[in-house]
A and B are shown apart, each in its own frame.
Chain A
Amino acid sequence: MLSTHTNGKPPNKREVLRLVKEHDVRYIRLSFVDILGISKNVMIPANELERALDGKVTFDGGSIDGFVRGEEADMMLLPDLSTFAVYPWTAGGHQEARLICNIATPDGEPFEGDPRTTLERALDDASDVLTGTSTALEVEFYLFDVDADGVPTTGSSDSGSYFDINESDRGETARMEIVTALESMGIQVASAHHEHGAGQHEIDVKEMGLLEAADALITIRTVAKHIAVRHGLHATFMPKPSEDLAGSGVHIYFTLPSVATEAAAELHDGELAEDTLFAIGGLLEHAPAFTAICNPTVNSYKRLVAAWDAPIYTVWSHRSANSLVRVPSPENGRSRIEVRSADPSCNPYLAMAVLVASLAHGQRGHVLPGDPLTGSTYDLNDRERERRRIRTLPKSLRQALLELDRDLVVRGALGDHIYHAFRDAKFAEYERYRRAVHPWERDAYLRVY
Chain B
Amino acid sequence: VIDTAVMSGDELIEFAEGLARIASTGGGPKALAAHLAALLDSAVLVEDGEWRHVALTGAGGRSVPASSRDAIAAAGKDGDTPVVLETPGTGPSGIAVRIRGGDAAMGWLSVFPSTTSADGRVGAIRLTAAAIGVELSRDAGGGKNRRKSFWDRLIARAYDDPIEAKDDAAARGITLAAHYLAVAIEAEGLEESVATAKMGDLRRICLETLRSGSGDIAVLERGGGFVFLCPAPLEVDAANIRTAATLIPRTATKTHFGAKIVGGVGRAAEAVAAYRTVDEARESMFIARRLFGGSRVMPYDDLGIYPLLLRGGATSGELRSFSDRILAPLRAYDEKHQTELIRTLRLYFEVGQNVKTAAAELSVHRHTVFYRLRQIAEISGHDLDSAHDQLTLRTAMAIDALNPHER
User: Quick check: A266 and B235 within 8 Å, CB to CB?
Assistant: no
Q: Per-residue CB proximity of A256-285 to B under 8 Å, as 1/0?
A: 000000110011111100100100000000
- Which residue of B237, B247, B295, B383 is within 8 Å of A274 (Cβ)? B247
Q: Are B234 and A262 in contact (CB under 8 A)?
A: no
B296 interface residue per 8 A CB criterion: yes
B333 and A375 within 8 A (CB):
yes
- Asked if B250 contacts A277 (CB within 8 A), the reply is no
B239 A263 Cβ-Cβ under 8 A: no
Expressed in whole angstroms, the minimum distance between the Cβ of A71 and any Cβ of chain B is 47
Residues of B within 8 A of A274 (CB): 247, 250-251
Min Cβ gap A325→B in Å is 15
Partner-contacting stretch, out of A56-64, A171-179, A185-193, A386-394: A386-394
B240 at the interface (CB under 8 A from A): yes
Contacts of B209 in A (CB 8 A): 366
Q: Flag if A388 contacts B253 (CB, 8 Å).
A: no
Q: Is B254 in contact with chain A by the CB < 8 A criterion?
A: yes
| Closest-CB distance, A251 to chain B (whole angstroms) | 21
Return the contact of A368 from the options B243, B250, B254, B379 (Cβ within 8 A): B243
Are B253 and A389 in touch, CB under 8 angstroms? no
Contact across chains for B378 and A319 when beta carbons are under 8 A apart:
yes
Out of B234, B251, B254, name the residue touching A386 (CB < 8 Å): B234
Q: Which residues of B contact A387 (CB under 8 A)?
A: 234-236
A374: chain B residues within 8 A (beta carbon): 329, 378-379
Contact B250 A388 (CB under 8 A): no
Is A206 positioned at the interface, with any CB of B under 8 Å from its CB? no
Asked, given contacts A263-B250, A268-B296, A274-B247, whether A368 binds B240 with beta carbons under 8 Å apart, the answer is: yes
Cβ of B237: which chain A residues have Cβ within 8 Å of it? Answer: 389
Question: Scoring A residues 350 to 375 as 1 if CB is less than 8 Å from chain B, else 0, what string do you get?
Answer: 00000000000000001011110011
User: Which A residues are in CB contact (< 8 Å) with B383?
Assistant: 269-270
How near does chain B come to A279, taking the closest CB pair, in angstroms?
Answer: 14
Residue of B nearest to A274 (CB): B247
A318: Cβ under 8 A from any B Cβ: yes
Q: Are B244 and A263 in contact (CB under 8 A)?
A: no
Q: Are B250 and A266 in contact (CB under 8 A)?
A: yes
By the criterion CB–CB under 8 Å, are A266 and B253 in contact? yes
B240 and A263 contacting across the interface, CB-CB below 8 Å: no
A370 and B240 contact, Cβ closer than 8 Å, known pairs A263-B250, A266-B253, A389-B234: yes
A370:B236 contact, CB within 8 angstroms: yes
Tell whether B58 is near chain A: CB-to-CB under 8 Å: no
Output the least CB separation between A444 and chain B (Å).
Answer: 35
Contact residue range for chain A? Answer: 20 to 34
B101 interfacial by beta-carbon distance below 8 Å: no
- Chain B 191-213: CB-based contact to A (< 8 A → 1; otherwise 0): 00000000000000000010100
Q: For the complex, what is the distance from the CA of A388 to the CA of B232, rounded to whole Å? A: 11
Query: Which of A262, A268, A277, A390 interacts with B253 by CB under 8 Å?
Result: A262
Contact with B along A111-149 (1 / 0, CB 8 A): 000000000000000000000000000000000000000
Residues in A with CB closer than 8 Å to B235 are 370, 387-388
Taking the complex as formed, is B29 at the interface, i.e. its CB lies under 8 A from any CB of chain A? no
B251 contacts across to A, CB distance below 8 A: 274
Give the distance in Å from the alpha carbon of A368 to the alpha carbon of B212 in the complex: 9
Interface status of B82 (Cβ within 8 A of chain A): no
Check: B249 CB closer than 8 A to any chain A CB. yes
* B250 & A389 in contact (Cβ 8 Å cutoff): no
Known: A370-B239, A388-B236. A318 touches B378 (CB 8 A): yes
B-side contacts of A386, CB under 8 Å: 234
Per the bound structure, the CA–CA distance linking A386 and B246 in Å amounts to 24
> Complex Cα distance A374/B328, Å?
14
What chain A residues lie within 8 Å of B243 (beta carbons)? 277, 368, 371
Q: How far is the CA of A86 from the CA of B398 in the complex (A)?
A: 68
Q: What is the CB-to-nearest-CB distance from A288 to chain B, in angstroms, rounded to a whole number?
A: 16
B254 CB contact (under 8 Å) in A263, A270, A389, A390? A263
Q: How far is the CA of A263 from the CA of B253 in the complex (A)?
A: 8
Encoded as 1 (CB less than 8 Å from any A CB) or 0, chain B from 325 to 338 comes to 00001000100000
- CB closest chain-B residue, reference A319: B378
Question: A371 and B249 in contact (CB under 8 A), knowing A263-B254, A269-B383, A389-B234?
Answer: no
How far does the Cβ of A90 sit from chain B's closest Cβ, in whole Å? 51
Find chain A residues with CB under 8 A from B234 CB: 386-389
Closest to B385 in A: A269
**What residues of A have a CB within 8 angstroms of the CB of B246 in the complex?**
271
Expressed in whole angstroms, the Cα–Cα distance for A274 and B251 within the complex equals: 9
Residues of B within 8 A of A368 (CB): 239-240, 243-244
- Binary CB contact string for chain B from 245 to 272 against chain A (1 if under 8 A, 0 otherwise): 0110111011000000000000000000
Indicate the member of A268, A269, A371 with the most B CB atoms within 10 Å.
A371
- Give Cα A415–Cα B124 distance, bound, in whole angstroms: 68
CB within 8 Å for A389 and B249 given contacts A368-B243, A374-B378: no
- In whole angstroms, how far apart are the Cα atoms of A262 and B251 in the complex? 11
Q: Which residue of A lies closest to B386 (CB)?
A: A269
Closest to A318 in B: B378
User: In the docked arrangement, what's the CA distance between A277 and B383, Å?
Assistant: 20
Give Cα distance in the complex from A268 to B234, angstroms. Answer: 27
**Bound CA–CA A390/B234 (angstroms):** 11
User: Once the chains are docked, how many angstroms separate the CA of A319 from the CA of B379?
Assistant: 11
Query: Can you list, as one digit per residue, whether each of B270-306 has a CB less than 8 Å from chain A (1) or not (0)?
Result: 0000000000000000000000000110000000000
Give the docked Cα–Cα distance between A386 and B237 (Å): 12
Chain B CB within 10 A, most for which of A262, A267, A271, A370: A370
Contact residues in B for A369 (Cβ distance below 8 Å): 240
Nearest-CB residue, chain A, relative to B241: A368
Q: Which residues of B contact A370 (CB under 8 A)?
A: 235-236, 239-240
Which residues of B (336-365) have their CB < 8 Å from a CB of A? none
Q: Which residues of A contact B379 (CB under 8 A)?
A: 374-375
Q: In the complex, which residue of chain A has the Cβ closest to the Cβ of B253?
A: A266
Residue among B254, B296, B333 with the highest chain A CB neighbour number at 10 A: B254
Q: Which residues of chain A from 381 to 403 have a CB within 8 Å of any chain B CB?
A: 386-390
**Docked pose: A89 CA to B239 CA in angstroms:** 55
Query: Complex formed: what's the CA distance from A131 to B33 in Å?
Result: 62
> How far in angstroms is the closest Cβ of chain A from B100?
40
CB-CB under 8 A from B386, the residues of chain A are: 269
CB distance from B387 to the nearest CB of A (A): 12
**Of B244, B295, B378, the contact of A266 (CB 8 Å cutoff):** B295
User: Which residues of chain B are near A271, meaning CB under 8 Å?
Assistant: 246
Least Cβ–Cβ distance between A320 and chain B, in angstroms: 10
Determine the distance from Cα of A271 to Cα of B234 in the docked complex, in whole angstroms: 23
Q: Which of B78-135 contact A (CB under 8 A)?
A: none
Report the separation of the CA atoms of residues A366 and B243 in the bound assembly, to the nearest whole angstrom.
Answer: 11
Chain A: which residue is nearest B243 at the CB level? A368
CB proximity of A322 to chain B, nearest CB, Å = 16
Greatest chain A CB density within 10 A among B240, B253, B333, B386 is at B240
Docked-complex contact A371 and B247, CB < 8 angstroms? no
CB distance from A49 to the nearest CB of B (A): 50
Shortest C-beta distance, B63 to chain A (Å), equals: 46
In the bound complex, CA of A341 to CA of B296 (Å) = 36
Q: Quick one: closest A residue to B252, CB to CB?
A: A266
Q: A267-B250, A277-B247 are in contact. List 11 more A-B contacts (CB 8 A).
A: A263-B253, A268-B296, A270-B383, A366-B244, A368-B243, A370-B240, A371-B243, A387-B236, A388-B239, A389-B234, A389-B236
Ranked nearest first, the 4 interchain pairs of A and B with the lowest CB-CB distance are A368-B240, A387-B235, A370-B236, A371-B239
Give 19 CB contacts A-B under 8 Å. A263-B253, A266-B249, A266-B253, A266-B295, A267-B250, A269-B383, A270-B383, A277-B243, A277-B247, A368-B240, A368-B243, A370-B235, A374-B329, A374-B378, A386-B234, A387-B236, A388-B235, A389-B236, A390-B236
Residues of B within 8 A of A (CB): 209, 211, 234-237, 239-240, 243-244, 246-247, 249-251, 253-254, 295-296, 329, 333, 378-379, 383, 386
